[in-house]
Structure 1
Amino acid sequence: MTTPADDQQLPDSTDTAVPSGAYAPFTYLNTPNAALYRRVMRALVTEKERFTVHVRPEQVHRALHADGGEPVTEDAVADALGRLANPVWGNLLAFPDSSRVTALEDFYRRRMLYQLSREGEAAERALAQYDTALGTRGALQAVALEDIVVLLTSLRDATRGRADLAPGADAATTHQAMRSLRERFTELADNAVAFMGSIQRTIDLHDADVEAFLAYKEQLIEYLERFIDDLVTRGARIAALLSEIPPDAVRLLVTVAAEREAQDAAPGEAESAVVTAQETWLRQWAGLADWFVSTPGRESEAKLLRSRARAAIPALLAVVRALHDRAGGRTDRTQDFLTLARWFADLPDDGARHRLWRSAFGLSSARHLTVTGETVEAWEEARLGNSVPWAEAPPLEISPQLRRTGSYERRGKPNRVQDRREAKAILAARSRHQAEQTAAARRHILTSGPRPLSAFGELDPQAFKLFLGLLGDGLAAMGPDATTAQVHTSDGELTVTLTRVPEAGVAVLRTPDGEFSGPDHLVDIASSVAGPEQPPPVITDDARQAVEVPV
């Protein structure tokens, strides 16, 4: 006597690939019927999400009929379920369906209930995540930066100067803020990586729709510029908030979140769950700090992202220029060579081809290696073939003079070699003096943080000339709409951050040659090479108040 379980089918040779241990549930993806198997597995995952544990073949058939795919028969669905439930693959678990048995004949019929196995469900979740990641283009989320500022501000206020949470800040609210902070930061980081990857593929013209790229190139560049501005301002604010939350407050927040998460742990596992959750939260907080705060030995991820996004703008413009050149039929050296090859093919004989070659490339014998007339006559009389050795051929006499088209060396006494050591010393001294003046001017205008223009006071002519150039570069980069701009000198030694402050007064800079006045701004001039790297500058309230007071 056999039971339905004994009649369980195994995959035949056409549907079975070699399984690889724990990855056997992925085996069906390499079979001819992989599309049908995938639809069946998605139908079972959908049913489980509706809290349906066991399904019958007719339920799966109805789900496949409603998913919009190709029509499939009930026998094909039943056969696919049986193959997915075989022990080799292990995607499904099969149980005899005895609920509808009313006679002995029904018992011998193959009626089965199917349930997702743990391995099969894990494989489908992984495939769904793969499909989602494959279709994600990513985005630069400026709103996420604002949300992170708001959440960090609330966490700072909840723990400011206290060994416990502030009044009115309960553990549930703090835990929810921590979870929201983690989710927003994870979304920001993941989407930024995906977006910059898609930008790089667009720049390399890999996996890029050229027409779509040309249609939205201006919006894309504007989008990058807006995100860079937000990252400069809000990134500095986030770094400042992280520095305002001391390690003791971080441990307090981590403990609150870990204890609330451990309340749902199984009996006997609460203590270990608290320790594990604390370690996880501390790692995630350290990751958040590393993303926004630079250290002397490492640049922050936000700074790297800002540099990468800024470099993507000229690269995108270069792609647009290349696409326009391609669309306009611009000729290049390749087209020249192809045209020249067609000309060679159309010529009647080798003599004409040699003349074309000499005309195209301008190749001729060297002017200082011309043979004499006697040599030419001797070679013509000898009528030698290509196989005659050079030793048996008439000698080759070369004229010591240039051709008539060349120029002869002027006869007479050669010019004396001039001693230029004194001139070189003068140039070296002048160059050293200019370098010292430039270095002194740079030291004079360096700031230790944002300063208003009106605080610079009087500048010497050399320092004012350098400062005026830096100010002009910063204003040009800022444009009429932006509020912040950051530029670097051509040698990369100075970094200038310029910030426009609304309703600022008039700044006056005094020099020995006169006065220079204009709207006041916050200026931060820092050296990019001297000393260890510092965290991003934070614009203090005192600096802002100094700008807002008219001079």
Structure 2
Amino acid sequence: MSARTDPSAQPFAHLQAQNAALYRVVLATFVRAKQRFTVHLRPEDVLAELGVGTSAEAVTAALTQLAEWGNLRADPDTGRVTTVEDFHRARYLYQLSPEGHAAEQAIAVYEETVARRGALQSVALSDIAAQLRALLAIAAGGAAGDPPDPAKTHLLLMSLVDRFTGLADNAQAFMASLRRTVDFADAEVDVFLAYKEQLISYLERFIADLANRGAEIAALAGQIEEAGVLPLLEVAAHREASDAAPVDDADGEAQRAVAREALAAWRQRWHGLRDWFVSADGGRQSQARLLRSAAIGAIRQLLGTVTAINERRAGRSDRSADFRTLALWFAEAPDDESAHRLWHTAFGLSPARHLSTTAESLALVEEQPLPASVSWSRAPRLEISPRLRRTGSYERRGSPNRVIDRSEQRRLLGERMEREAAEAARARAALATDGPTTLSHLGELDSVEFQLFLQLLGDALAVRRPDADEVVTATSDGTLLVRLVRIAHAPPVRIVTRDGVLTGPDHLVEITDLDPARALTAR
């Protein structure tokens, strides 16, 4: 059964009208009135809502026009009629029509969608895991013979789908806005540099939460499917089908068709949630893992953008330092032939490359190219620039540009890179184990060691399947090998760091340094 609508209504016509701004504020007044459960508004009520600066004639004309377009419904105002003249005078009560209300809802959704920036919701991951744990308890009770409660099961599934849909939509919107932020970094460089540290920390925190919670959610989804997820989906489908509008259905086939459609919809939602967190055997990666890779790539892109901005701001290179380095290379050349090769390479003095010729000569060479085997005496002559012929130099005379000495900045940058490399090497040496050990025996970790440990733990948990107890993986640079083994019924473990305390189930971990030279130096 469909609602009756006015085919002549044009509820979106006011958006392109001359007084669109006035129409929008008038309709916003009716939307607020509907939220306050106010049924009708008189013109003087609308004028009072708009405040000073709007005339009564303009409001009356706007209400009349909106009623003609179908946004408002005008009913005669007979409540204040005391005489025959009052009855014949045009007085109306206005309220939003069904078409106008639908148009306002559509405009609100459009504005919200366009303005939404999105977010990476770590809290949503925790909520999804909690709801899955509650569903697992219901599924386990159903496997033991205790039928699931329809209301509780249906509400849990609806809350789970709503939370998951918000997580996926917000993550997609955030990554799209992040790409726009990086793409337009040149337009607002100062703003970009001001918040890039917070943005990188935000992405790193979500990556760590996604690695931990994603593995837990994937494991819970697998346990629910083993206990039996189909009865839960059937309960939700039958409960939705019971609310369907009655039809002329003597044998109940239409009602069963509604139930089948609802069950198919719930199965599709469940498969979507499972595929979002669980990778397939055929090589298809889960959306959670793809989102994690996209976030890591966004961090690299942000750092690359910052590096490019700093390079553009750095100005010209230090030519005096470059010439001193080139002089040292000349002094270290083993023979004259090597010095000649260095000379030609450094200054680009290949045959005729140092000459500046005219555009006509270049066009002639491009139209009639000559092979390199043709002797210069047989080749056609080249017309060089008149300035070069007259003065002996093509360059304009004048003082050279001032060279900025950046040796101190380079020294500081080199010291910082050496310090960071030493800290990374020390963290690798501290985390490398002689064999399998439990997480509880790692001891206290400093900030650098803790960041490296979180990265290794995230890489291992990301590739571990929900039904696997052991996983072996290597870091992206291939320098460390991580082996993680789940301990059955392991008690919780606390890893104390300078940044806080990390808690979780105990595991066996083995970290091997694959660089023999570095491993030997560490020993």
- The alignment's TM-score, normalised by the length of structure 2, stands at 0.60
Letter in 2 for 1:78: T
Counterpart contact for 1:498–1:524, Cα < 8 Å: no
Counterpart contact for 1:484–1:497, Cα < 8 Å: no
Letter in 1 for 2:435: S
Letter in 2 for 1:71: G
Q: Could you say what secondary structure the match of 1:24 adopts?
A: coil
User: Paired residue for 2:180?
Assistant: 201
Change beyond 3 A, Cα 1:194–1:179: same
Mapped to 2, the partners of 1:548 and 1:95 lie a distance apart of 76
Q: Of residues 529, 540, 547 in structure 1, which corresponds to 2:486?
A: 540
Counterpart contact for 1:159–1:166, Cα < 8 Å: no
- Give yes or no for the alignment of 1:80 onto 2:43: no
User: Paired residue for 1:5?
Assistant: none
Change beyond 3 A, Cα 1:61–1:205: same
Mapped to 2, the partners of 1:52 and 1:164 lie a distance apart of 53
Letter in 2 for 1:497: A
- Give yes or no for the alignment of 1:95 onto 2:81: no
Counterpart contact for 1:477–1:486, Cα < 8 Å: no
Q: Could you say what secondary structure the match of 1:454 adopts?
A: coil
- Give yes or no for the alignment of 1:126 onto 2:106: yes
**CA deviation digits over 1:429-451, x for unaligned, max 9?**
xxxxxxxxxxxxxxxxxxxxxxx
Change beyond 3 A, Cα 1:331–1:35: farther
**CA deviation digits over 1:71-101, x for unaligned, max 9?**
2122211111111111xx3222222222222
Mapped to 2, the partners of 1:363 and 1:498 lie a distance apart of 56
User: Paired residue for 1:278?
Assistant: 263
**CA deviation digits over 1:487-543, x for unaligned, max 9?**
9xxxxxxx96389xxxxxxxxxxxxxxxxxxxxxx8622799xxxxxxxx9963349
Letter in 1 for 2:272: G
Change beyond 3 A, Cα 1:76–1:244: same
For residue 22 of structure 1, report the CA deviation from its aligned partner: 8.8
**CA deviation digits over 1:389-420, x for unaligned, max 9?**
xxxxxxxx96489xxxxxxxxxxxxxxxxxxx
Letter in 1 for 2:11: P
Mapped to 1, the partners of 2:11 and 2:474 lie a distance apart of 58
- Percentage of pairs with the same residue: 46
User: Paired residue for 1:480?
Assistant: 450
For residue 54 of structure 1, report the CA deviation from its aligned partner: 2.5
Q: Could you say what secondary structure the match of 1:176 adopts?
A: helix
Letter in 2 for 1:135: A
Counterpart contact for 2:185–2:192, Cα < 8 Å: no
**CA deviation digits over 1:50-89, x for unaligned, max 9?**
2223222222222222xxxx72122211111111111xx3
Mapped to 2, the partners of 1:255 and 1:365 lie a distance apart of 83
Mapped to 1, the partners of 2:229 and 2:99 lie a distance apart of 38
User: Paired residue for 1:306?
Assistant: 292
Mapped to 2, the partners of 1:270 and 1:154 lie a distance apart of 30
Counterpart contact for 2:215–2:461, Cα < 8 Å: no
**CA deviation digits over 1:302-345, x for unaligned, max 9?**
1111111000001111222333345x36259xxxxxxxxxxxxx
Change beyond 3 A, Cα 1:94–1:455: same
Letter in 2 for 1:204: D
User: Paired residue for 1:24?
Assistant: 10
Counterpart contact for 1:485–1:498, Cα < 8 Å: no
Mapped to 1, the partners of 2:186 and 2:10 lie a distance apart of 32
For residue 260 of structure 1, report the CA deviation from its aligned partner: 3.5
Q: Of residues 512, 519, 525 in structure 1, which corresponds to 2:473?
A: 525
Q: Could you say what secondary structure the match of 2:37 adopts?
A: coil
Counterpart contact for 1:137–1:195, Cα < 8 Å: yes
Letter in 2 for 1:485: Q
Counterpart contact for 1:202–1:208, Cα < 8 Å: no
Change beyond 3 A, Cα 1:249–1:546: closer
Q: Of residues 286, 289, 313 in structure 1, which corresponds to 2:274?
A: 289
For residue 481 of structure 1, report the CA deviation from its aligned partner: 3.8
**CA deviation digits over 1:21-56, x for unaligned, max 9?**
899321211112111111111111221222223222
Counterpart contact for 2:122–2:209, Cα < 8 Å: yes
Change beyond 3 A, Cα 1:80–1:546: closer
Cα RMSD of the aligned pairs, angstroms, is 4.0
Mapped to 1, the partners of 2:145 and 2:8 lie a distance apart of 47
- Give yes or no for the alignment of 1:454 onto 2:424: no
Mapped to 2, the partners of 1:133 and 1:208 lie a distance apart of 24
Mapped to 1, the partners of 2:187 and 2:162 lie a distance apart of 30
- The alignment's TM-score, normalised by the length of structure 1, stands at 0.57
Letter in 2 for 1:37: Y
Bigger Rg, which one: 1
For residue 174 of structure 1, report the CA deviation from its aligned partner: 2.3
Counterpart contact for 1:159–1:165, Cα < 8 Å: no
Mapped to 2, the partners of 1:33 and 1:242 lie a distance apart of 55
- Give yes or no for the alignment of 1:246 onto 2:225: yes
Counterpart contact for 2:29–2:49, Cα < 8 Å: yes
Counterpart contact for 1:44–1:116, Cα < 8 Å: yes
Mapped to 1, the partners of 2:212 and 2:10 lie a distance apart of 50
Mapped to 2, the partners of 1:139 and 1:152 lie a distance apart of 22
For residue 204 of structure 1, report the CA deviation from its aligned partner: 0.1
For residue 476 of structure 1, report the CA deviation from its aligned partner: 13
User: Paired residue for 2:127?
Assistant: 147
User: Paired residue for 2:151?
Assistant: 172
Change beyond 3 A, Cα 1:526–1:315: closer
For residue 228 of structure 1, report the CA deviation from its aligned partner: 0.9
For residue 478 of structure 1, report the CA deviation from its aligned partner: 8.2
Q: Of residues 139, 158, 166 in structure 1, which corresponds to 2:138?
A: 158
Mapped to 2, the partners of 1:157 and 1:205 lie a distance apart of 49
Extract unaligned runs of 5+ from structure 1: 1-20, 333-359, 368-396, 402-451, 457-474, 488-494, 500-521, 529-536
Mapped to 2, the partners of 1:62 and 1:322 lie a distance apart of 56
Mapped to 1, the partners of 2:18 and 2:119 lie a distance apart of 37
Change beyond 3 A, Cα 1:54–1:366: closer
Change beyond 3 A, Cα 1:164–1:324: same
- Give yes or no for the alignment of 1:237 onto 2:216: yes
Mapped to 2, the partners of 1:399 and 1:364 lie a distance apart of 14
Mapped to 1, the partners of 2:200 and 2:20 lie a distance apart of 42
Counterpart contact for 2:460–2:473, Cα < 8 Å: yes
User: Paired residue for 1:497?
Assistant: 460
Mapped to 1, the partners of 2:90 and 2:182 lie a distance apart of 58
Change beyond 3 A, Cα 1:208–1:298: farther
Q: Could you say what secondary structure the match of 2:508 adopts?
A: helix
Counterpart contact for 2:279–2:286, Cα < 8 Å: yes
Mapped to 1, the partners of 2:50 and 2:275 lie a distance apart of 48
Question: How many pairs align?
Answer: 360
Mapped to 2, the partners of 1:548 and 1:300 lie a distance apart of 25
Counterpart contact for 1:478–1:485, Cα < 8 Å: no
For residue 278 of structure 1, report the CA deviation from its aligned partner: 2.6
Mapped to 1, the partners of 2:64 and 2:149 lie a distance apart of 54
Change beyond 3 A, Cα 1:485–1:57: same
